[in-house]
Structure 1
Amino acid sequence: MGENSFLTSSPFAVGGYMLCSATLLISNKIAVYVLPAPSFILFAQLIGTVLVVKGAAGLGYIQPDKLEWSKAKAFFPVALIFLSTIFMNIKSLQYANVETFMVFRFSTPICISVADYLFLGRQLPSQRSWLSLLALLGGAVGYAMTDSHFQVQGYFFCALWYLIFCMDQIYLKHIINTVEMQSNWGRVYYSNLLAAMPLIFTFAGDSSEIEALRNMTFNGFVALSVSVFLGAAMSYFAWTARSLLSATSFTIVGNVCKLLTIMINMFLWNKHASPFGIACLLFCLTAAYFYKQAPMRKELDGKDEEALLPK
């Protein structure tokens, strides 16, 4: 009983999501290096996740929802927003460096906390939580300013990404609240299947990617397989965490993952930051720790706010 309770708890879901997020970054870098076909790798992760779900269901390990038109209609915007977010992410990084983009990313919880209040029935954050959100943004700005290549260009695509990303966080939480599913695997199945289909056209006409696939080595196949496995695990943990946390809390967890990603880059790829830059990253992690998830407005007044990772 206790074990099953832990497997459906916020700490387990968030811990799994953060672990998969960090390792998937490393896996993707290796996969793209040995198999220079990024569009196909993304497609393989999505369709591979679908095959994992169907395979596990066929063996009787899980019971995902069957494909139904009513549910597919609800999840179609999920796939559209997901692909739009990826595209705008790429375009933003084309015109603005990672540090500039990071500042935009770390300001999203402020907007999403208001959207949580307007659309999802949450209370507004407390004074402590507002300070935590502002400190999180301030730490990101401080880190970005330590980079000599910090830019303020590409605002158009950054602004479009910002709008779509915030919409993504709110709409996916809305889907969880309103579309009844038999299990979390159903959400994994629908979202990955619908997002995978349009991606076929992104690599099918790309001669360089087709050539890379023809010349795939055993190492490339192994790297791709690991990437697909981690992608499936991350999709599961992400949907689980979304179901247990508010949209704002999940966004903050995602930002913490980005911080950990930066730190991993520092150690693995010898990308050094100044002592002040590292202090800013640690400051961001501390600020995220002190954020408290706002309760639903329907709950009794005076009830303590939920911790970011409630037991």
Structure 2
Amino acid sequence: MVPLNVEGSKQYYATSSLVVGYALCSSLLAVINKFAITKFNYPGLLTALQYLTSALGVWVLGKLGFLHHDTFTIENAKKFMPAALVFYLAIFTNTNLLRHANVDTFIVFRSCTPLLVALADTMFRKQPLPSKLTFVSLLIILSGAFGYVATDSAFTLTAYSWAFAYLVTITTEMVYIKHMVTNLGLNTWGFVLYNNLLSLMLAPVFWIITGEYAEVFDALASNAGDWFNSTAFIAVSLSCVFGLLISFFGFAARKAISATAFTVTGVVNKFLTVVINVMIWDKHASPFGLICLLLTIAGGVLYQQSVTGAPPASKQVANESEAEKFLSDEEKGISGKISGV
């Protein structure tokens, strides 16, 4: 019989490994995707390759018995299509934001989602007004965001147009789609399969709308041997692999720890992303912009503390279960594309 302390130690290290794996994947993914879109300037094709990797990965792992996912059916696909469309738009605008702006700009706008979600909840879902602590945290987020935008030397209309488009789509996804998806009764890996497979089917439509297909064909015709070089191959491969990894570690860690701990881990990851981004290259904000960025993230941490404070013991499990439904794709590891769906 294995002693209890040995079992407890194994469980502790297993849980710690999952949390560390998720933290590393989450913090690195935004930087990896920025690197990928810099070397492979075709956002539609890049995201399609990511969808293909994640969907194929789930299908293969299911066949090998490592995981279980719901069977793909036309009926469920029809019900899920609106969710997949909004998901696709969120990832599509996110990738184009990284194409035209740096990682710091993405993090600032991503950190502003609690502010819009709180407003949307109050206006459309008739939720009560935020508490004083929540209101203060939202003001901190807003102040940091304004400070960053005001001092952003890399400000361009194109970049910020994509940023606002991303902000609108990710907020829509967080407020509306979560409720619809929960009612479909899919398990977590079934959600990943449907999300990525349907998004892959939508990709050709956006290639035609944006005209990206013509750019790819022109690149192939003019420079067939160099349009996808070894550096681009490594960057895209890393992006796809880390997209699948964050799905695994995100779901596994979410099952192993509480919703509150998982949410805080997702927010703190952004600090590590900022550090990595500053260390590896010069594609980041000015010193004052970084201070504003850190202020925005700090507001996000304070916001999470204000909305996930310890509830009464009788309501702890119910509240954590409800909180999990409204975590962002990035924090759940669902999207597996941009750290931080």
Q: Does the alignment reach a TM-score above 0.5?
A: yes
CA distance in 1, matches of 2:177, 2:123: 15
Structure 2 gap ranges (5+): 1-6, 325-341
- Counterpart of 2:339? none
Contact map agreement 2:267 2:297 (CA 8 A) in 1: no
Structure 1 gap ranges (5+): none
- Counterpart of 1:135? 140
How much does 1:69 deviate?
A: 2.7
Q: 1:235 to 1:7 in 2, by over 3 A?
A: same
- Counterpart of 1:294? 307
Structure 2 counterpart of 1:187, one-letter code: F
1:231 paired with 2:243, answer: yes
Cα deviation, 1:167-195, whole Å, max 9, x if unaligned, reads 111233214432212x3111110000000
TM-score (norm 1): 0.71
Q: 1:101 to 1:186 in 2, by over 3 A?
A: closer
Contact map agreement 1:100 1:150 (CA 8 A) in 2: no
- Counterpart of 1:146? 151
How much does 1:91 deviate?
A: 7.0
1:62 paired with 2:67, answer: yes
How much does 1:143 deviate?
A: 2.7
- Counterpart of 2:297? 285
Q: Which moved more, 1:129-138 or 1:189-198?
A: 129-138
Q: 1:132 to 1:256 in 2, by over 3 A?
A: same
Contact map agreement 1:124 1:294 (CA 8 A) in 2: no
Structure 2 counterpart of 1:69, one-letter code: I
Q: Percent identity?
A: 33
What root-mean-square deviation, in Å, do the aligned CA atoms of Structure 1 and Structure 2 show? 4.6
Structure 2 residue corresponding to 1:75, chosen from 80, 83, 97: 80
1:25 paired with 2:30, answer: yes
Q: 1:209 to 1:47 in 2, by over 3 A?
A: farther
How much does 1:63 deviate?
A: 0.7
CA distance in 1, matches of 2:47, 2:61: 21
- Counterpart of 2:200? 196
Q: 1:28 to 1:72 in 2, by over 3 A?
A: same
1:110 paired with 2:115, answer: yes
- Counterpart of 2:333? none
Contact map agreement 2:137 2:299 (CA 8 A) in 1: yes
CA distance in 1, matches of 2:235, 2:197: 22
Q: Partner of 2:26: helix, strand, or coil?
A: helix
CA distance in 2, matches of 1:39, 1:242: 30
Q: 1:260 to 1:195 in 2, by over 3 A?
A: same
1:170 paired with 2:155, answer: no
- Counterpart of 2:338? none
Cα deviation, 1:237-276, whole Å, max 9, x if unaligned, reads 5667899759xx96x9877656654443322113565544
